[in-house]
């Protein structure tokens, strides 16, 4: 036999032997693995409790067995599950299913009221006029003749008036002489306190008596903003929950009645107006009767703008006042409206109207547009008429109650 053939047969026999050994090894491994899976796990080692006869623990659950029964069920969870899987209600035969109820709409929030204007923000012109003079006084090392001259000039330029300026300076000199004031800053601080005290005198309340048909009569010359002031006051009172009747007593100017009509619609107030050129007293009378019949709280009566030098017109104004005093009317306020930009001329007007119709208070308009804020002090100090309302802008919310302390601080800051 050739040697090559013998060698080939030997190699083939060796390969067959190796394959047979491999197959036997794999089969033996599979049998052992299956035996391990089928045999139960060995029992746990004995513990003292088991040795004492304690019952053995139950064997663990085998995969595929039924789970133990539930002993407790959350009622809320069960209700939610039942509700989720409950069938939807069916409409009766022949009827269309009811549409889903719309989600309730939230009511829109009421608009926020505008913030009250601050005196310091609106009295820029008046403060700018005083700041140079008062700043020079505060920067001095001692109180001398130059100090008094600068202080006097500042007060006169602010339209405080010569008489009132002299009285204020005399009070300050007395304090310096008595040793109560020693330095220029103390001098300005004392002036501020004197101004606040002078402006705080008097009753600044807007009076309303119990019951209907209270009357507030507005007087003043042409062009001071009387009709606009009535509209703004009406809005203030309506927002406070009071019912308002407006009387267009300026029958000599058709534009005044039309302007007041616009304000009445805006405020939600009743308006009483007469024929052009008619009797103003009859308009006020009709307004009072309507307020009494409808139990309205307040009558705001406009009057014709007239010069304080016209005697006949002032006599007519007295007649309007007498009508407003007759029952069922209750005349509580006679308000003189003055334009702050007129300066000392406003003081003359206040004196004449006070003598004719007994003014109870002053409404000072356009105070934000003037550098002569001292007219406030002149009116109250010389005539004893309190400033009740001031206009710090054109918006209705810019008509505010007069605050003496805030006013003085705004001039000195």
DSSP track, 228-271: HHHHHHHHHHHHTT--EEEEE--TT-HHHHHHHHHHHHHHT-EE
What CATH code is carried by the domain that includes residue 308?
A: 3.40.50.300
Please tell me whether residues 240 and 303 are part of one structural domain.
yes
Domain boundary among 359, 375, 408: 359
Please tell me whether residues 220 and 193 are part of one structural domain.
no
258-291, pLDDT tens digit by residue? 999 999 999 999 999 988 888 999 999 999 999 9
Instruction: Give domain status of residue 24, yes or no.
Output: no
Residues in contact with 294: Cβ distance below 8 Å, sequence separation at least 6, in sequence order: 212, 243, 245, 270
- What pLDDT does 372 receive? 79
Please tell me whether residues 246 and 311 are part of one structural domain.
yes
Residues in contact with 319: Cβ distance below 8 Å, sequence separation at least 6, in sequence order: 281
Write out the two tokens for 151.
């202080």
Instruction: Give domain status of residue 270, yes or no.
Output: yes
- C-alpha–C-alpha distance, residues 322 and 325, integer Å: 5
Residues in contact with 113: Cβ distance below 8 Å, sequence separation at least 6, in sequence order: 397
- C-alpha–C-alpha distance, residues 385 and 376, integer Å: 10
Please tell me whether residues 258 and 322 are part of one structural domain.
yes
Write out the two tokens for 293.
């019949």
What CATH code is carried by the domain that includes residue 138?
A: 1.20.120.140
Instruction: Give domain status of residue 379, yes or no.
Output: no
Please tell me whether residues 186 and 227 are part of one structural domain.
no
Instruction: Give domain status of residue 396, yes or no.
Output: no
Domain span at residue 176? 119-200
- C-alpha–C-alpha distance, residues 92 and 144, integer Å: 103
Residues in contact with 217: Cβ distance below 8 Å, sequence separation at least 6, in sequence order: 284, 301, 303, 320, 321, 324, 331, 333, 334, 335, 357
Q: Is the pLDDT of residue 82 over 70?
A: no
311-365, pLDDT tens digit by residue? 677 888 899 999 999 999 999 999 999 999 887 778 888 888 888 899 999 999 9
pTM above 0.75, yes or no: no
Instruction: Give domain status of residue 142, yes or no.
Output: yes
- C-alpha–C-alpha distance, residues 165 and 278, integer Å: 45
**Band of residue 13 on the pLDDT scale cut at 50, 70, 90:** confident
Residues in contact with 335: Cβ distance below 8 Å, sequence separation at least 6, in sequence order: 216, 217, 218, 219, 359, 360, 361, 362, 363, 388, 389
Strands in 298-301's sheet, in edge-to-edge order, are 270-273, 244-248, 298-301, 214-219, 330-339, 361-365, 387-391, 399-401
- HSE-up of residue 322 (Cα within 13 Å, Cβ side): 7
Please tell me whether residues 142 and 184 are part of one structural domain.
yes
Please tell me whether residues 194 and 246 are part of one structural domain.
no
Instruction: Give domain status of residue 286, yes or no.
Output: yes
Please tell me whether residues 241 and 334 are part of one structural domain.
yes
Please tell me whether residues 193 and 219 are part of one structural domain.
no
- C-alpha–C-alpha distance, residues 113 and 75, integer Å: 50
Instruction: Give domain status of residue 209, yes or no.
Output: no
CB atoms within 10 A of CB 25: 9
How big is the CA angle at 42 (ends 37 and 46), to the nearest 5 degrees?
165
Instruction: Give domain status of residue 395, yes or no.
Output: no
- C-alpha–C-alpha distance, residues 332 and 209, integer Å: 7
Please tell me whether residues 139 and 245 are part of one structural domain.
no
157-169, pLDDT tens digit by residue? 888 888 889 999 9
Please tell me whether residues 133 and 238 are part of one structural domain.
no
The bridge status of strand 387-391 relative to strand 399-401 is antiparallel
Please tell me whether residues 173 and 229 are part of one structural domain.
no
What's the number of domains the chain is made of? 2
């Amino acid at each position: 036999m050739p040697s090559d053939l013998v060698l080939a047969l030997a190699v083939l026999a060796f390969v067959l032997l190796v394959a047979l050994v491999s197959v036997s090894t794999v089969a033996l491994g599979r049998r052992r693995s299956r035996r391990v899976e089928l045999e139960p796990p060995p029992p746990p080692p004995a513990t003292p409790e088991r040795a004492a006869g304690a019952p053995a623990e139950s064997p663990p659950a085998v995969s595929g067995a039924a789970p133990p029964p539930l002993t407790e069920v959350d009622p809320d969870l069960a209700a939610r599950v039942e509700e989720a899987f409950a069938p939807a209600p069916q409409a009766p035969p022949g009827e269309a299913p009811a549409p889903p109820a719309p989600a309730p709409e939230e009511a829109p929030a009421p608009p926020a009221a505008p913030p009250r204007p601050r005196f310091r923000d609106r009295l820029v012109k008046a403060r700018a006029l005083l700041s140079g003079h008062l700043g020079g006084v505060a920067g001095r090392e001692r109180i001398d003749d130059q100090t008094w001259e600068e202080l006097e000039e500042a007060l006169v330029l602010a339209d405080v008036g010569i008489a009132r300026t002299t009285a204020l300076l005399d009070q300050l000199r007395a304090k310096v002489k008595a040793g109560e004031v020693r330095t220029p800053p103390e001098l300005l601080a004392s002036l501020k306190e004197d101004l606040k005290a002078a402006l705080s005198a008097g009753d600044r309340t807007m009076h309303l008596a119990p019951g209907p048909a209270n009357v507030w009569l507005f007087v003043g010359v042409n062009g001071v903003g009387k009709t606009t002031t009535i509209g703004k006051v009406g809005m203030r009172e309506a927002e406070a929950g009071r019912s308002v009747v407006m009387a267009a007593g300026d029958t000599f100017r058709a534009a005044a009645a039309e302007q007041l009509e616009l304000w009445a619609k805006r405020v939600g107030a009743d308006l009483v107006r007469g024929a052009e050129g008619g009797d103003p007293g009859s308009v006020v009378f009709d307004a009072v009767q309507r307020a009494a019949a409808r139990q309205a709280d307040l009558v705001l009566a406009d009057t014709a703008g007239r010069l304080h030098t016209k005697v006949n017109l002032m006599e007519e104004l007295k007649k309007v006042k007498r009508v407003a005093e007759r029952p069922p009317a209750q005349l509580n306020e006679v308000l003189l409206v003055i334009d702050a930009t007129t300066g000392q001329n406003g003081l003359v007007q206040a004196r004449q109207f006070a003598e004719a119709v007994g003014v109870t208070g002053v409404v000072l308009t356009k105070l934000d547009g003037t550098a002569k804020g001292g007219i406030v002090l002149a009116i109250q100090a010389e005539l004893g008429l309190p400033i009740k309302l001031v206009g710090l802008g054109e918006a209705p919310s810019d008509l505010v109650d007069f605050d003496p302390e805030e006013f003085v601080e705004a001039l000195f800051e």
